[in-house]
Amino acid sequence: MIVDYHTHTSLCKHGEGELEEYILKAIELGLDEIGCSEHIPMPNDFDLRHRMTVEEYYSVYAPRITDLARKYQDRITIKRGLEAEHLPSSEEWVKKFIAENDFDFVIGSVHFLGRWGAEKPLFHKDYEGEEIDGLHIEYFEAIRASAESGMFDIIGHCDLIKKFGFRTSKAIDEAVRNAMEAIKRNNLCIEINTSGLRKPEQETYPSETILKRAKELRIPLTLGSDAHKPQDVGKDFDIALGLIERYGNGKVCVFEKRRRKEVRVSTLKAITM
Ligand SMILES: [Zn+2]
Ligand SMILES: [Zn+2]
């Protein structure tokens, strides 16, 4: 069994391509399942640069998943997912949106620090000159809170903050440990997200240092490319599969209607190592 549970489309405005192109790429690679996990729409035009509107979700994205799941049912399983935000004071909205939809899985991601309304985005903002340790501690504290929110199944790209610099000291260790323990306590899994390999840091999210901790705590793993264009579906999964073997006992989490199962991961047919 092999899955890619983290994909976007042009609907999030910083992605390219139609959902069907992502699905065709997943079929070409021999994936068993693809998870459609666009950024959650938010009210009051919040961060519209990086997401669809609520109206677009219900009139375009959600019905498109239904139609394509039917169209390709003999070739691939299409799962209804979501990449939700965790941002203090947005919980009620996010909870309600999740409850109103029939998701197979929900990824919880931290893309902003601070509170809703006074948030600092982590998308493109240049954090040059900010105190790197302090920023990392604030980020991992937010990951801990997202794990404790009870809203999610998968914690997304759980060390995304490293994109602003690796120059951290021992001071962040405790925050990382607290975050990982909260993920375990709340029975969540983490994704091996290969998009970091396509960024200047050239490393998966999370790093092997964090994956080692995940293994010690027996936190289960799943797989996501975070593709923002069709050709990135399943990208670098040869590397991710090696990490699943090393840190996840060769098992990957799959979801149906938010119920989790761990299954043995298989190799990709079309990827040559
Ligand atoms: Zn994300
Ligand atoms: Zn994403």
Report the CATH number at residue 216: 3.20.20.140
Q: Averaged over 221-233, what is the pLDDT?
A: 98
For ligand 1, the distance from its centroid to the CA atom of residue 122, given in whole angstroms, is 10
120, part of any domain: yes
Q: Give the ligand at the shortest distance from the Cα of 14.
A: 2
pLDDT at residue 39, rounded to an integer = 97
197, part of any domain: yes
164, part of any domain: yes
Q: Domain tally for the chain?
A: 1
Round to whole Å and give the CA distance between 255 and 260. Answer: 5
pLDDT at residue 272, rounded to an integer = 44
For ligand 1, the distance from its centroid to the CA atom of residue 234, given in whole angstroms, is 16
Phi/psi of residue 263, nearest 5 degrees: -130, 160
Specify the 3-state DSSP secondary structure of 107.
strand
User: Which residues span the domain enclosing 254?
Assistant: 3-264
Lowest-confidence region among 22-36, 99-113, 124-138, 208-222: 124-138
Q: Averaged over 242-261, what is the pLDDT?
A: 98
Decide if 111 contacts 90 (C-beta within 8 A). Answer: no
For ligand 1, the distance from its centroid to the CA atom of residue 204, given in whole angstroms, is 13
For ligand 2, the distance from its centroid to the CA atom of residue 226, given in whole angstroms, is 5
For ligand 2, the distance from its centroid to the CA atom of residue 11, given in whole angstroms, is 12
For ligand 2, the distance from its centroid to the CA atom of residue 204, given in whole angstroms, is 13
Ion ligand 1: residues, CB within 5 A, are 109
166, part of any domain: yes
Round to whole Å and give the CA distance between 254 and 251. Answer: 10
271, part of any domain: no
